[in-house]
Structure formats: C-alpha cells, structure tokens
Amino acid sequence: MSEAEPTSDDLTGKRVAFLVAREGIEQAELTDPWDVVTAAGATPTLVSTEVGDVQAFDHLTAADTFEATLAASGASVDDFDALVLPGGVANPDQLRTDADAVGLVGAFFAAGKPVAAICHAPWTLIEAGVTEGRTLTSWPSLRTDIENSGGTWVDEQVAVCTSGPNTLITSRNPDDLEAFGAEIVRTLGRT
C-alpha cells in the first residue's frame, strides 16, 4: 500500500451485511470477520434466506446458532457499505440456489461496493455471474469452477482484486482469517 492511500481502522458508521444460508455456515468464517468489523466500529447485520435462526458448523459438527434479522428478499444494497460471504461447503451451495441471495450479491457488485468471500463462498459469486475477469482465491476444489466462470484462481492467503466494478476480497480457509479480516477493515477504511 502506498503512503498516499488513505486508510482508517475506525469504521464507525459503516454497515456490513453478512449473507448466509440457513445452515452449513463455517462458524469461524462468520464469527471472526464479524468480530473484526465490530471491533473496528462497523455495524454488522446477519442476512439469510429467511429471518430466524441459522446453524453454524465447525467443519462437519454442528456448532452455535445465530439469529438472522433480515431476509435477502428484504435487504437493500443501499443500506450497507460492504458484503461478507462466509464459507462452509453447504452454506454457499444453498445460497447459490436462492434467487434473492444471488440477486443481492449481484447488486453489491453493480453498486461498486466491496465484497469479501472466503473458502467455498465464491460458488455464490460464480452463480451471480461476477467472477469473469476477476482474480480470486478459495478452497482449492473451487479452482476449476472459478476458471470455468472466467476468473483467475490463485493460491494466496488473501487475494484483493480491483479490476472490476468493486473491490473483491477472497481467502482460502479458516487459517487465512486474520489476513481476511484485516483486508476487510483496510478496504472499508478507504471507502
């Protein structure tokens, strides 16, 4: 990052949507970025395919439940400054079959707002048709899907792509959460 590029770790007033399915969310990929943006002063909102409890997992073991207070069908990109897509295998697989969730992802790209996706979450990006010409990282098994959608896959802790209408932040897995969270805060601090 150049010294002339402004950044701020104070995200007071920023609003971040976390979009998840009803179950299968990798808990650490939801809670770690949530805690990071909250600590920086932003206000996160849990959005799902329906309002109500969502089930997180620690890999394949059921973990905690969290309350989604907003349905994707009622969410407006105008109410948020950024979007975070946690992973888990089942979570993005379910999201990509929900027209409202896919539409919300597309709306963030159309509005030029930052989007962050980790692990298997790029499946939802692919379904939204927003990966062509973009550089992403992900869980390794998504490489072919990303490349088939016109994206470039890289094996990096965090990939930041600014070659499209917005900043796209992607990471591979829970081991990358520290870098993923730091980049979300850095990017939001510049918006």
Residue 69's contacts (CB-CB under 8 Å, 6 or more residues apart) are 45, 46, 47, 51
What pLDDT does residue 8 have? 57
How big is the CA angle at 126 (ends 85 and 129), to the nearest 5 degrees?
110
State residue 3's pLDDT score: 39
Q: What sign does the CA torsion over 182, 175, 114, 12 have?
A: negative
Q: Which CATH number fits domain 15-189: 3.40.50.880, 3.30.70.1350, 3.30.300.30, 3.40.630.10?
A: 3.40.50.880
| Catalytic, out of 54, 72, 119, 168 | 119
Residue 119 bears catalytic tag: yes
Q: Which two three-digit tokens encode residue 122? A: 């790029």
pLDDT one digit per residue (tens) for the chain, 191 residues:
233 344 457 899 999 999 999 999 999 999 999 999 999 999 999 999 999 999 999 999 999 999 999 999 999 999 999 999 999 999 999 999 999 999 999 999 999 999 999 999 999 999 999 999 999 999 999 999 999 999 999 999 999 999 988 999 999 999 999 999 999 999 999 98
pTM of the model: 0.94
Parallel, antiparallel, or unpaired: how do β-strands 115-118 and 168-171 relate?
parallel
Beta-carbon contacts of 93 under 8 Å, excluding residues fewer than 6 positions away, are 21, 24, 120, 123
Residue 1's pLDDT is what?
A: 29
Q: Record the tokens describing residue 181, joined without a space.
A: 């969270």
Encoded tokens for 167: 């900043």
Q: 158: Cβ–Cβ under 8 A, 6 or more apart, which residues?
A: 137, 169, 170, 171, 176, 179, 180, 183
